[in-house]
Every structure is written in structure tokens, then in C-alpha cells.
Structure 1
Amino acid sequence: ILVSVFIIAILISLQGIANGFRILSELNLGVTFLFMLLVLLFGPTIYLISAFTENIGTYLSGLIRIGFKTYAYDVEHLDWFMDWTVFYWAWWFSWAPGFGIFIARISRGRTLREFIFGVLMVPSLFFVLWFTVFGNGAIWVNEHLAKGALGQAVNNVGSLLFDFLSYLPYSGLTKTLALFIITLFFIVTINFGIYTLNNIAIEDKSQVSPRWQSMFWGGLLSAVTFVLYLFGGIEILQSTMLFFSLPFALLMSVMAWSLLKGLRFERQYYSTEVSDLWTGANWRSRLRQLVIEPKRDDAILHLKTTALLAMRELRQLLIGTYGLNVTLQQHFGRDNNQLVFSIENGLAEDFFYQITLFEKPEPETAQVHHALMVSTNIQLEGYPLSITNEEDLIVDILQCYERYMKELDFVIS
């Protein structure tokens, strides 16, 4: 079964994030909601709804108190604290960096408020609902239907869910659905690991990882899982994860400081007026760029850093805040180095802002002149790029887009 799951996961990962992983995740989420709804309807519905309301209040009222509880004065429950609280603390520390990369990649264009709501608030509310339906539901079944049988089998985690479903109506349907969901969770988790490792390993984060790389990470994950499972089962897998979580806990402290530093920088960035392009604040840098001809490597570096980062930031804002359809194409090679920033317009030709590295040989001196040239819908013949920072380039793109929209309005009218 595990071999089949890994093979399916690797094959899906080869289809890419858009065609494979997203569809599988949406299917997993939909089937999981259906499964939870069936258990809610087939179980003690009124009791579970009442328990859900009370559980929210219990969670919120005890969040600080329980969050700092280490059972120093409650020694008889210290083993439970180590086996559950500390274990899951380490579990989430080990998952957090990779999961953060994944969430960040799919959250382009979101504000911090939307990110916190979608990543913290909604999942927390869903977890309370999930634990209410299955946790309170199992307690109720154990007391009223199973007469304590579920409590006696509490250590047999693998079959406890199916034992619980046996006491509900249509158990054959719910058991089949549960097995299908567990399989989907395995496949989605493996794809998540492959995607995260691909993102860490590839140099250009905007490029799609090659197929052989997805197969390599999938095979490596499969091999490590099988070896650990054969030598110690689930326990050794959990112990390995617990062992490697401590370095991630230290790493996350550094990441938290980096996040705070980044937010301060962004606040300062957006609080300044975006008018340097026309006030002459950066005229010395522009003069140097106009007078001193850049080398090929310097021009490509400027294209890959300043220009690409500026276009990515503007694209993220236009998509996430204003819902525009924006594409960013990048080509870096021996004979073709260019960036093309496009904004779709259903009524006319799409707006584009293209930066291209031109190389013109000089036959008499055997020298090659390099220049970054800009061409747009407004000025097809192109003009030299004399911009040295991201903010100025964003202003230049927006001004060209403004002229494009004005000419478009004139043609339509």
C-alpha cells in the first residue's frame, strides 16, 4: 500500500503544482468536509453542536493558562505532557519552515491581515470543529453505545477510528471514505515534501523544477520512510522527527527576527513618497549609468535583481489587491536576456513593458556594446533603461501603463 501511495504521489508531482497538487488538495479538502459532515449527521448532532460552542469558549479562556502549563505541580500527568504536548510542539517546529515556504508561495498578493486570518484563524476554528465531531463524538459513543469498549482500545490508534465508525449508521460508507481520505492525506503530504524540497533546491525560485528533480526527492523520501519504518515502525519515525525539531526551533527564532526586520523595512518603504524618478534624488546614479557603459555581467545582474524584483512586487500587488491578470516572462540565456511584464486587457492589445539586453558589436574596435533597452506599447522603438532602483522602475512601469490607458480610452471613445 505504501509503495502504491508513493508512486501515485510522485506521478502527481510530475504534473506540476497547478495541475496536480492543487487539484488533489482541493479534492482532499472537499472529501474531508463531507466525511466530517456525515459523522456529524449520523452521530449525536445536537450534542456535538452544543459541545462545539462550549469548546470554543474553553479554548479561548484557557489559551494563556494551558499554553504555559508544564505540569510542574501535577506530576501524575507529566508523562502525558511529554508524550503529547512536547511531542506535538516538536512536530510543528519540524514542519513549520517547510510549511511556511509553501504557504508563502501560494499567498502572493495577500495582505498580512488576510494571511493571518487564512492561516491561523480559519484553521484553528476548523480544528476545534474537527476535534468536537470526532473527539466528543467518540466520548459520547463510548459512554452510550460502546459501553466503554472504545476506552479499552484507546492505545490501538490504527483501528480506533474504524471502531468508532462501527457504532454509527452506514458504517461501511464512512469506513471506505475514511480509508480514502487517509490515502489522500498520505499523497498530499508526500507532494508537499517534494514541492518544498524542489523550491529549496532550485536556484531560480520562479522557474518550474525539472521532472527528474521531483522524482529524485520523491524516491529519497520513499527510501528514508521505508528504512525507518522497517527498523522501528511508527515510533522510530516520530523519534527521528523529534530529534531534528530542536535545530528548527533555533532557526525559527532567527526567522522571527528576520520577519520583524522585514516588516519594519517594508513599512518604511511604503511610507515614503514614490517620486524619486522625477525629483532628481538619484540623478548621480543615473548619470553614472548613462556615461559609463555597463559590462554584460553587470547588465544581466541588474536585470535579474533590480528589474525582476520590481516587476515581481508590482505583479503581486496588481493581482492580489486589484485582481488584474498579470504575467511576468523571463528569459536568461546566452543569446536572449529579457523581461516582459504584461497586463491583460480584454478590449485591446495587452499592455507590455519589456526590458531587453542588446549587444551591438563594433567591427572597427572588435568591442561589443551592451545596453538594457525598454520597449512598451507606447514607445515601441525603445529607450535606454537609466533606472537604478526598484522603486523608480515601478514608477516608470506605472507611468507607461497610465499613458497606455489614456490612449486606450481615447481610441475606444
Structure 2
Amino acid sequence: MFKTTLNKGIFIPSMVFILLVSITSVIYPQAADEILNIIKRFIFINLNWVYIWAVTFFVIFLIFLLFSKYGDIRLGNNDSRPEHSFFSWMSMLFAAGMGIGLMYFGVAESIQHYSSEVFGMEHYVNKAKNAQLYTFFHWGIHAWAIYAVVGLSLSYFAYRLKLPLSLRSCFYPLLKDKIKGKWGNVIDVFALCSTFFGITTTLGFGVVQINSGLQFLNIVPDTSFTYQIIIVGVLVSLAILSALTGVDKGIKILSNINVILVLSLLLFVLILGPTVFLIGSFTEGIGNYINNFFNLTFGTHVYDQETLPWFYDWTILYWAWWISWSPYVGLFIAKISKGRTIREFIVAVLLIPTIFNFIWMTVFGNSAIWFDINVAGGALSSLASNPDALMFRFLEYLPLSSIASFMTIIIVIIFFVTSADSGIFVMNNIATKNAVRSPKWQTTLWGSLLAILSLLLLNAGGLKALQSMTLITALPFSVIMILFTVSLIKALSIDQSYYDRNFSKTTIPWSGRLWKDRLRQIVETKDSKSVNVFIDTVVKSAFTDLQAEFAKNGVTATINYFEDDSKIEIEIKYDMVNDFIYGVASTSKIASNYLVDENNFPKIKERGIYFPKAYFGDTREGYDIQYFTKTELISDVLKHYDRFLDIISEERNEMFISSDSNGIVP
């Protein structure tokens, strides 16, 4: 029998949209590119502020969480611990997040900024500094903040609240059980399509770079489509095989190997390149980045019209690109982050990759600029428009360039495979609503779709159209991500309150003598009528006895009655200080849907649960007194009266106890 774990409500709409956009881009690549590019340009020019404010908000939000009381909350049970070692965790995070991008833009971005006409009027030193500064900006904290918001939200709701590892779960505090229906499907369809488009375009461009490197090493004679078919076929097959083995085996092993290779290549260039210059430029670059952090963050180039096209094509495009990739990367980061604390997650995901990216971009980008100025005579700058070959041309200026180029190709291949296999894993996860086990043919299906569509688009020239489509989807998803943060902070505040909540003050004087009565009171739900009866009998009798006893001791106490018997208070008036007030009022709270529907609990007649709540004249927060006996209530009033006398006897409290600032009784 044909078995599948695919959810029809997610898989079918997603496939229809993916195939419609892809086939249109293949048949009408130029027309599709023109139409989508018009939409993209409109968004970048007129709505770029949405991206600026959204990304800025994500950075501020994460910094707030980092230093807040919520930082100690664990992504899982309080006793859970990480499933992966720190090294493996970081390795997989890099492989999924920016692997191919680092190889593709490590040299290319710095050279392109350096040779850009935007900085053409400046001295070459300032051009080099600006090239490093903007590269840091595009690959630094802001980029990883986007991934961290999605990854953190998914991790929290999946492992802390035991919801499915799905984007729909991030809306639970806002939509509740509606996430199980069509609204949840819409969210997951959007995430699946965005993920598919992002991976397809990235893999398409990755194939071109691999092909270019193989030609450079004379392994293949040219960069024809035939060789690209072979490359995709081999690498996607490896990705499918890796995905079938799961995160703990294939993806983790390949990621660990690649990080070792990446570090080796980094040290190779650092040691054999202009070492002193690189160390000095890294130090100065960090200072330049910190000094310009806020200007870069809020910069819109509105006062410098000549730089606006550059701003749209770089900063805004990058923010849109990271946002469009965040469903995929965020889901994968969440999958491997169970057991970490929120503070640990933010530090690791936000700061450590940023520092590594800065080192990488300095070593490769600044080395290329140094060689271009001092050795190549501008030869590298002249290749700025050909980023596919730029990395390999740069390595020619180093000793053992053939070995370095071969290592670069191996790294790009492994990044290609790890990006594809983690992408396959994430897409199947979305389409199956986080099914525990899926048949192997589904993994093969996703890999085959990636291979076929990326090749068709590459051959027809439709990758740019698909890239534009991916960037367009970033606009609505940036709004969705903001809602993630609203939902997350709401959940975290409830989480903190839940674990910080102590026993009810009502239970403090309890002994085991009245345990049967206590049990009956606990399981008995209170309506407004029963609470009013409690106030009119137990509370009223306690206040009456207190009033009589106060009178015997020379203190005049007044009992204030209110209409409908829902409120009563005992008051002792003073001339120079605040009056002493202890009151009890009928208060309600909305019952949880789970409590209303729970069979193992007395049925709730009203949607609200009522209870008698104490309040005080100084507007301190009151508490539930429904389990107090008459004598326990009298004792509680006297405790507060003793506190009142103790406070007014201290000179330092004068500003709080003056009768000019009597509290308003709720």
C-alpha cells in the first residue's frame, strides 16, 4: 500500500504554486523576470523602510532578551540538556545558514564594493575601509538576528510548549487552536514555498561556481549545461543520501568535516597572505563597525541620492534575502537547538557566527584588495562582475594555488550537499506537519524536485525571476516575523509567571486538621453568587468581630458596605497618614478552554471563575482568600495592620504615607 505522511492541506497548494511559478519562469524567463523585477523594485524603493525597521527591531528584541530575566528559560523542560556538542551545533548552523554564501561572496563582495562607482570619488584607502565596513554590516549581527528570531521562536514553542516544530506554532499565543486549521496551513504553505525558492536559486548559483572551479583546475573543459547536469545529479544524490541518514549522522558528519576544511583554508590564506595587514585591518575594521553601528542600522541613504541604487541592490536586497531564507534556516536551527537556554542560544547564534564572518571576510576580502592594489594592478577589480570565478583567480596570487583551489571546490561541494540535505529535511518537515518518520520516497521526491527545477531554471535563464520572487516574499514574512516576537514575549511572560508563582497566601496558615473541607473547596468551582455569600457571611462576620475588638482597644474601625454584596471593607481613618483599608471584592478571571472541556473536573457553569480577592488602601496587589476560615481572615487583617503601623512609624517612609496621597481603592 502507498504510504505517505504528506499533509494535503499544505503539500498540494504548495506544489501548485511552486510549479506554477517555476514553469512560468522556464517558459517565459524574460517576461517573468521583468514583471517580478518591477514588483521587487517597487518594494525596494517605496517600502525599504519596512526592512530597515524590521531588522532593527529584531536586533533590539534579541538584545533585550539576552539581558532580561527570560534569558535563563531553557528551550525544553527545565532539566533538558543539549542534544549536540557545541562544535557540532555550530558546524551545522554554519552549513545551513551561510555556507555557500561565504565561499561565493568571501572575495566577491569586498572587491565589488571596492570597485563600485559609489565610492569612486574617494581615496583608495577609504574605498577599502568602506568595502570592509559594508561587508561586515551585511554579514554581521543584523543577518543573524533575522535567523535567530525565527529559530528561537520555533525552538521555544516546539520544545517548551510541546507544539509541532512548525511556523504555525509560533502563533499559538495569538491564535490558540486556530493554528490547527486553515490559518496554520496558510502559514506553512508560505514557509514551504519560500524555502523551496530560496534553496533552488542558491543551489543554481552554487552549481555555476563549482563548474567554474572545475574548469579552472582543468577537470572539465568548459561550463556548458551538460557538465552542470552531471554536477547537480551527483551532488543532489549525495544530499538525498545524507538526508535519509538524518540530522545525527549525515548532516552532522558532513558539517563537522566542512568546518575543519573551512578553518584550514582560512589559516592557509591568513598565513600565506598579507598576514600583518590582515590582522591590523581586522582590528581597525571591528572598531569602524562599532563606531558606525547605529548609522548603518538606521541608514536609508535618503540624503545621498547617488547611492540609493547601490543601497537597494545591496543592503535592502540582503535584508530581503536573509528574511526569505529565515523559514528554512530558522527551522533547521530550531531542530538542532533543543536544551539550550535562551541566553545561550542568542549569544551563540547572534555573536559567534558574526565574529567568524568578520574574520572570514577580512582574510579573503581584504587579501584580495591588497593583492589588487600591490600585485595584480587592478586585475581582480576588473573581474568584479564575474563572482563565479573571482575566488579562484584570487587564489592564483598565493603559493600552492592549485591545492587551495581544489580545497575550495571540496568545501563548496560539501556546503552544497549540506544546504540541500538540510533543505530537504526542512521541507519534508513542513509538508508533513513534523511527522516523526516519513517514507524514504518523500526525501527522494524533494531532492529530485530541487535538482530538476534548478536545472530547468538555470538552462532557461529563469533563476533571476525565481530570485526576484523569493525576495518579494520577504516583505510579508517580515511582518509575520514581527508577530513572532509579539507571540514569543507574550508566552515568555506567562512562562516566567508560571514558574515564579508561589503557593497561594491562602494556604500559608493551613494545617492538616481541616483537610477534607480544604479538598472540597479546591475542586468546587465558584460562581458569583457563591462568592457573594462568602463575603456576606465569613468576611462580614470576621470584620464585625474585628470592629468590636478594635473599639475595646480605643481604635475606631468602620465597615464599608457596598451594593449587591460583592464588596466589603474595614477602614481605620487617620488625619496625617493614609487610612488603613483591608477590603474583599468578588473578582473574576476567564477560565481556560482546557479547564472548561476537562472531564476530570466539576463542570463550570459560567465562562468566568469567581473568587474573593483581598485589596488594600495602598494599592498593593491583592490575592485570593477563598479558602480562609473566619479566624484565618481575622489573623490576615491583623498582619496587614501590624505592617501598616510598622511602616508609618519610620521617618523615611513619610513620602509614601502622607494623607495627601491616599491610595485609590480598586
Q: Hey, what's the Cα distance between the residues in 1 that align with 2:288 and 2:520?
A: 57
Q: Hey, what's the Cα distance between the residues in 2 that align with 1:29 and 1:233?
A: 32
**Counterpart in the other structure of 1:326:** none
Residue by residue over 1:101-155, the C-alpha shift from the partner in whole angstroms, topping out at 9 and shown as x without a partner, is 2112211111111001110010111111111001111100101110110011111
**Counterpart in the other structure of 1:199:** 429
Q: Hey, what's the Cα distance between the residues in 2 that align with 1:31 and 1:95?
A: 25
Q: Hey, what's the Cα distance between the residues in 2 that align with 1:253 and 1:204?
A: 23
1:221 counterpart = 2:450:
yes
Q: Hey, what's the Cα distance between the residues in 2 that align with 1:8 and 1:282?
A: 64
**Counterpart in the other structure of 1:122:** 352
Residues 136 and 218 from structure 1, CA distance in 2 versus in 1: closer, same or farther, beyond 3 angstroms?
Answer: same
Of 465, 477, 497, the residue aligned with 1:268 is 497
Of 464, 486, 490, the residue aligned with 1:235 is 464
Residues 210 and 280 from structure 1, CA distance in 2 versus in 1: closer, same or farther, beyond 3 angstroms?
Answer: farther
Residues 280 and 44 from structure 1, CA distance in 2 versus in 1: closer, same or farther, beyond 3 angstroms?
Answer: farther
What aligned pairs does 1:49-198 form with structure 2 within 5 A after superposition?
49-198=279-428
Of 237, 242, 264, the residue aligned with 1:34 is 264
Residues 87 and 265 from structure 1, CA distance in 2 versus in 1: closer, same or farther, beyond 3 angstroms?
Answer: same
Residues 177 and 204 from structure 1, CA distance in 2 versus in 1: closer, same or farther, beyond 3 angstroms?
Answer: closer
Q: Hey, what's the Cα distance between the residues in 2 that align with 1:252 and 1:281?
A: 46
1:211 counterpart = 2:436:
no
Q: Hey, what's the Cα distance between the residues in 2 that align with 1:169 and 1:36?
A: 14
- Specify which structure has the higher proportion of strand: 1
Q: Hey, what's the Cα distance between the residues in 2 that align with 1:228 and 1:263?
A: 44
Is contact 2:428-2:442 (8 Å) kept?
Answer: yes
Q: Hey, what's the Cα distance between the residues in 1 that align with 2:244 and 2:503?
A: 43
Residues 208 and 22 from structure 1, CA distance in 2 versus in 1: closer, same or farther, beyond 3 angstroms?
Answer: farther
Is contact 2:523-2:601 (8 Å) kept?
Answer: no
Q: Hey, what's the Cα distance between the residues in 2 that align with 1:258 and 1:140?
A: 48
Q: Hey, what's the Cα distance between the residues in 1 that align with 2:521 and 2:244?
A: 46
Residues 166 and 260 from structure 1, CA distance in 2 versus in 1: closer, same or farther, beyond 3 angstroms?
Answer: same
Of 229, 238, 250, the residue aligned with 1:8 is 238
Q: Hey, what's the Cα distance between the residues in 2 that align with 1:217 and 1:282?
A: 57
Q: Hey, what's the Cα distance between the residues in 2 that align with 1:168 and 1:103?
A: 36
Letter in 1 for 2:400: Y
User: 1:231 deviation in Å?
Assistant: 2.2
SS at match of 2:480: helix
Is contact 2:320-2:475 (8 Å) kept?
Answer: yes
Residues 38 and 74 from structure 1, CA distance in 2 versus in 1: closer, same or farther, beyond 3 angstroms?
Answer: same
**Counterpart in the other structure of 2:77:** none
**Counterpart in the other structure of 1:284:** 523
Residues 78 and 37 from structure 1, CA distance in 2 versus in 1: closer, same or farther, beyond 3 angstroms?
Answer: same
Of 245, 248, 251, the residue aligned with 1:18 is 248
Q: Which runs of 5+ in 1 are unaligned?
A: 286-385, 389-413
TM-score (norm 2): 0.41
| Percent identity of paired positions between Structure 1 and Structure 2 | 42
Is contact 1:36-1:133 (8 Å) kept?
Answer: yes
Is contact 1:97-1:252 (8 Å) kept?
Answer: no
Letter in 2 for 1:102: F
TM-score (norm 1): 0.65
Q: Hey, what's the Cα distance between the residues in 1 that align with 2:503 and 2:427?
A: 37
Is contact 2:384-2:390 (8 Å) kept?
Answer: yes
Q: Hey, what's the Cα distance between the residues in 2 that align with 1:201 and 1:163?
A: 42
Letter in 2 for 1:5: L
Q: Hey, what's the Cα distance between the residues in 1 that align with 2:399 and 2:235?
A: 29
Task: Give the number of aligned pairs.
Answer: 287
Residue by residue over 1:169-205, the C-alpha shift from the partner in whole angstroms, topping out at 9 and shown as x without a partner, is 1101110011111111111111121111122123455
**Counterpart in the other structure of 1:244:** 473
Letter in 2 for 1:256: T
Residues 387 and 140 from structure 1, CA distance in 2 versus in 1: closer, same or farther, beyond 3 angstroms?
Answer: farther
Q: Which runs of 5+ in 2 are unaligned?
A: 1-230, 508-514, 525-599, 603-666
User: 1:31 deviation in Å?
Assistant: 1.0
Residue by residue over 1:222-278, the C-alpha shift from the partner in whole angstroms, topping out at 9 and shown as x without a partner, is 2332232222255334323212222322221221211111211211122124899x9
Q: Hey, what's the Cα distance between the residues in 2 that align with 1:109 and 1:177?
A: 35
CA RMSD, aligned part only? 2.5
Is contact 1:229-1:236 (8 Å) kept?
Answer: no
Is contact 1:165-1:175 (8 Å) kept?
Answer: yes
SS at match of 1:14: helix
User: 1:280 deviation in Å?
Assistant: 5.9
Is contact 2:251-2:418 (8 Å) kept?
Answer: yes
SS at match of 2:355: helix
Residues 282 and 87 from structure 1, CA distance in 2 versus in 1: closer, same or farther, beyond 3 angstroms?
Answer: farther
Is contact 1:229-1:237 (8 Å) kept?
Answer: no
SS at match of 2:288: helix
SS at match of 2:398: coil
SS at match of 2:236: helix
Q: Hey, what's the Cα distance between the residues in 2 that align with 1:81 and 1:283?
A: 63
Residues 280 and 97 from structure 1, CA distance in 2 versus in 1: closer, same or farther, beyond 3 angstroms?
Answer: farther
Q: Hey, what's the Cα distance between the residues in 1 that align with 2:266 and 2:273?
A: 10
User: 1:41 deviation in Å?
Assistant: 0.9
SS at match of 1:149: coil
Letter in 2 for 1:178: T
